[in-house]
Amino acid sequence: ASRFRLPHLTDIFPDATSIPSTFCLRMRTPVTGDFADGYPSDEKWHGYINNRDRVLLKTIHYSSPTSAGAVCIDPDCTWVEQWVHRAGPREEIYFKPEEVKAAIVTCGGLCPGLNDVIRQIVITLEIYGVTKIVGIPFGYRGFTDKELTEMPLSRKVVQNVHLSGGSLLGVSRGAPGISEIVDSMEERDINILFVLGGNGTHAGANAIHDECRRRKLKVAVVGVPKTIDNDILLMDKTFGFDTAVEEAQRAINSAYIEAHSAFHGIGVVKLMGRSSGFIAMHASLASGQIDICLIPEVPFHLHGPHGVLGHLKYLIETKGSAVICVAEGAGQNLVEQTNAKDASGNVVLGDIGVRIQQEIKKYFKEIGVPADVKYIDPTYMIRACRANATDGILCTVLGQNAVHGAFAGFSGITVGICNTHYVYFPIPEVISYPRAVDPNSRMWHRCLTSTGQPDFI
Ligand code: ATP
Ligand code: MG
């Protein structure tokens, strides 16, 4: 069985000693000082996670021994198990809480739940006994921009921040160099850094972790994956995704009502998903109002006998209206490529939603069939939402586990949920490429069954 190796600060400081955890799993009742539910005091620390506790990530069966790689259990060498470390509080911790200065930074785009994670990190740090907690404003930029000052954080400051969307700290794209960030961390005496962001942010976090090791700094860098697109490898799902799908349904429902109430109405809804169509697929499945779902992983034609437009004509003739859901990264071969990049170096995508809307109008005009086309892009309305109940809980657990991971002495790790259990991953394992919808998966075929759409190739 293979197991991901989690980088730990003892890798660079082998002689470091750990101290008993001060993290209290049971709340004392304020009146008596006893434990609320009457457990004997020797059980007061029950519930700690052992560093050897692990969760089965996957069992892979290989068709031949040669493709199985190095780590095998079976004598025929045809299957491999991968395990990941369980997240949670450790009985022994690496940092003395009074010596900790913790910082939180949020980068990239907005995602529902950012404030929930920030809040929970602060609350959990305080329970460990940390008093120096700061927020770095506007992403990595806040480390070096002299106009921006760090924000002191406490339970009082964050108490109600989860009631609104966005990020209390602000976000940004683009960044100063890694060594300037680490210089700034040294200046500020930061020894625990929590980084909330997507693939790009995690690449940055891993580089900061490497630079801290190179400089022999006792600094723990812990990520919390923030991607509304749900495109991080190995995780069941990431926070904000559930809220996004729920909110996307409102836009789809509006598009449906508009289309259904118009003569030959056609609604086009563009949803997030630069390289992964999870939101579009799940929103289509959830709403039941989508006739055509288009995602980046599945190529399609607009024109021709098997094109989207021909199918739309059929839908208009047979049911009078239609709704299309398209992920922003879908059909990029059909839109003009500008080669433009954003501040973080991400390619600026062409607008497939507008393109489809224009093509539909043109097509129906050409064939002499009236059509009433309406286009909805709810992206920013969805991203700015506050987290729903499911995401609120996920954010709470991830935030707590991020703090437990840092206190345990791990660095260069990120938190996630895997086969319903909460775990730690080494950052490079989850960001090597974006997770995508498998066009051969059951889920995509379920989506096709529910929309009734044919292959558009
Ligand atoms: P989103 O899901 O919103 O795209 P993201 O984390 O991928 O989130 P980016 O704008 O790509 O968002 O990156 C966020 C920050 O990480 C930026 O400040 C960017 O400069 C930095 N960054 C991106 N890629 C790298 C990298 N390979 N190495 C170091 N830093 C990076
Ligand atoms: Mg990104």
How many alpha carbons fall within 13 Å on the CB side of residue 3?
13
- Compute the chain's Rg from CA coordinates: 25
Nearest ligand, CA of residue 229? Answer: 1
What are the pLDDT digits (tens) for 367-384? 999 999 999 999 999 999
User: Within 10 A of 435 (CB to CB), how many other CB atoms are there?
Assistant: 19
Average pLDDT, the chain: 90
What are the pLDDT digits (tens) for 226-243? 999 999 988 999 999 999
Does 229 qualify as catalytic in the annotation? yes
- pLDDT of 80: 65
- pLDDT of 415: 97
| Residue of 13 and 362 predicted with greater confidence | 362
Ligand 1 proximal residues by C-beta, below 6 Å: 107-109, 139-140, 173-175, 197-201, 203-204, 207, 227, 344, 346
Check 11, 74, 183, 229 and give the catalytic one: 229
pTM for this entry: 0.90
Tell me the percentage of the chain whose pLDDT exceeds 90.
76
Question: Mean pLDDT lowest for which of 64-73, 163-172, 254-263, 282-291?
Answer: 64-73
- pLDDT of 227: 92
- pLDDT of 55: 86
Alpha helices in 215-275 (DSSP H): 241-261
pLDDT over 90 at 403, yes or no: yes
Distance 142 CA to ligand 1 centre (A): 14
Nearest ligand, CA of residue 107? Answer: 1
Alpha carbons 193 and 133: distance in angstroms, whole number: 10
Name the pLDDT band for 306 (thresholds 50, 70, 90).
Answer: very high
Q: Which atom of ligand 1 has the smallest separation from the CA of 228?
A: 2
ipTM exceeds 0.90, yes or no: yes
The pair of three-digit structure tokens given for residue 204, joined into one six-digit string: 């940055």
- pLDDT of 82: 76
Alpha carbons 341 and 348: distance in angstroms, whole number: 5
